[in-house]
Structure formats: C-alpha cells, structure tokens
Structure 1
Amino acid sequence: MTFTIYESTRVWTRTWALPADNQAPRRARQHLDRVLPAVTCPDETTAQLQLLVSELVTNALQAHAAAPAAPLAGAGPELWVGLPPEHQELTLAVFDGCPGHLPRLADQRPCELAESGRGLAIVEALTRGRWGVQRASSQCSPTPLAGKIVWAIPHVPALAAS
C-alpha cells in the first residue's frame, strides 16, 4: 500500500486539542465553524467539510481505542487546519498519538448493515483522493508526543476571502 506524504512545509493556521471521547467529532465541527467565516463557501460545502472532519476525528478515536496502550492518559486527537493567506486550498488534518495504526481504504465495501467501515470511503469521495497519512508530532501536547496525521484537502470550489 502506498501513502502520499503531504508537504512538510504546510503552515497549520489553527490547531485544537480534542477530548478523547465521543464528544470529539462535535467539538471538531465547532472549531471548524470558527474558521469558516474567514472564507466564503456555500452551505452545502460547509456541510461536506463538517462531515469530512467528523470522519477524520472518528478514525483517530478508533485508532486510539485500538492501540495496545494509550499513548498518554487523556490525550485525545487534535484538529489541525491549514488555510493559506490566499484562501485557495483548505487543508484539514487530525493528529492521533498512535503512529503504528495506519488507516487504509478498504478493498471492499462493508455490507449494508455494518455499523462502520465507510469513513475513509467518504474521505476519499470528499477529497477526490487528495488525502494521506504521515508521521507527525503533537502540536498541542505540552510534552513531546509522536503520532501521525491523516490529512485531507477537500474538493471544494475555489474559496474566496470574505
């Protein structure tokens, strides 16, 4: 399997620590809502961005739960948002402290009754394949914490500065 490594020179405009519980996707959407007024995008695009960030955070929570030992007690995922000054390409990333648990797109679709297994297919669709995984260090932890980010560049019409 091949993972695309995103350019390491990306400047993360905003970063937020999220709780390590089922409130994390909601909190991530709230943080994203604070960034979106800086750009003009239709309501449908906003909904797609919220869905994308929810899927990324949910995958990070699942990686945390699947880790043999919790990386740091209480350490949750982190939401990183990259928005260049020209507002042309929004990048979303979610950090988790589980560098050995690399997500991958399933080879087959889950059965219709399955409760999980569609998240990365949604990410793939909303980014048109512009997503990937790379090792990273926490931006929010007061102590060094190695992990990974799953980053995504949503497929949205050119964003305009408001």
Structure 2
Amino acid sequence: MTAETAGSGAESPLVVVKSWPHGPCSVGRARRLLVRSLAAWGLAHLSGAAELVVSELVTNSVRHAREPRGHVIRTRFERLGRAVRIEVHDASDGKPEQRDASGDEESGRGLALVDAITGGRWGVSDREGIGKMVWALCTDDGSEGGPAEELGLGPG
C-alpha cells in the first residue's frame, strides 16, 4: 500500500492519507509514516508528541471499532504551518470519550494523554459515510500556528 498524497510539484505533500488493515501492526506502521512525514515537513521536533497521539488514536480504533467488520482504518496527516493535524477514521459510530481511569486500571488513559499532549486540541466528528473521525493537533507549544480557524481545529 502506498500513501495518497496531495501537494504541489517536488515539494513534500502537505497531506498524507493511508488506509490500514484493522489490526495491531497498523499502529506502528502509522506511527512510522507520521514520523517520516514530519521529517519531510521540517517538523521532526514534533515527532515524540505526535507519535504518542497517533499511537493512542489508532490503538483505540483497533481495539474499539470492530464493527462493522471488513472496514479499514484510515489516517490523514496534514501539515498546518508549524503544526500537524492527525486524523484517524474508522467505520464505527461509537464515539470515544475521555474518562478518568482509577490508579489501578491498566487502560483508559489514552484520551487523557491525547488531551494533555495537544492542550485540549482534539475532538470527534462524524464523517461522510459511516463511522467517525477522531482528530488532534500537535504544535510546537500547544498554541503556535495561528487562529483556530486557520489550523483546522474544527470537525474538518
């Protein structure tokens, strides 16, 4: 599978879209594609935070978006100035919600981590067709990159 890209000329594309099989191996593959994209965009310094975000979002999709069967997970990475918008699309209508996991729970902290890393710049939106899109924005410091409208912070 190759990533679909949109951009102009010989420059690195500003958008990278890829479909993934519904399985745990897709988490690491999506993470590696994002890191390569960030490096090409001159945003390698965002890799640590962005890797955690995409790992959490793709993992959630693999774990919780099992129905309807036979559908793939799709990631979309978009360079927005000094920021990257990360989207994970799946065919499940179930919307993830941030919760407070107790100290002895082994899971349940993923969206709290995404919220902390992105400074609250994440959300869940319907998408064309079935399913949902979960998006998050990683920036240099949680605020750089311009007004919310310019960054595409909304449902997009």
How high is the TM-score relative to the length of structure 1? 0.72
- Unaligned regions of 5+ residues in structure 2, if any? 1-13, 146-156
2:132 match: 148
Match of 2:86 in 1: 92
Q: Which has the bigger relative contact order, CA under 8 A and spacing at least 6? A: 1
List 4+ stretches of structure 1 deviating above 3 A.
none
Q: Residues 62-73 of structure 1: matches in 2 within 5 Å?
A: 62-65=63-66, 70-73=67-70
Q: How high is the TM-score relative to the length of structure 2?
A: 0.74
Cα deviation 1:32-58 (Å, max 9, x = unaligned): 122112233455x31111111000101
Contact in 2 for aligned 1:126/1:155 (Cα 8 Å):
no
SS of 1:90's equivalent in the other structure is strand
* Structure 1 gaps, min length 5: 1-11, 138-144
1:104 corresponds to 2:97: yes
> 76, 79, 90: which one pairs with 1:80?
76
How far has the Cα of 1:82 moved from its partner?
Answer: 1.3
Please give the secondary structure, in 2, of the residue aligned with 1:154. Answer: strand
Q: Does 1:32 align with 2:34?
A: yes
2:120 aligned with 1:129: yes
- Quote the Cα distance in structure 2 between the aligned partners of 1:41 and 1:80: 16
The equivalent residue for 2:11 is: none
Fraction of identical pairs, as percent: 31
Aligned to 2:61: 60
Distance in 1, matches of 2:49 and 2:83, equals: 15
Once superposed, what is the RMSD of the aligned Cα atoms?
Answer: 2.0
In the alignment, residue 133 of structure 2 is paired with which amino acid? I
Q: What is the CA distance between 1:156 and its match in structure 2? A: 2.0
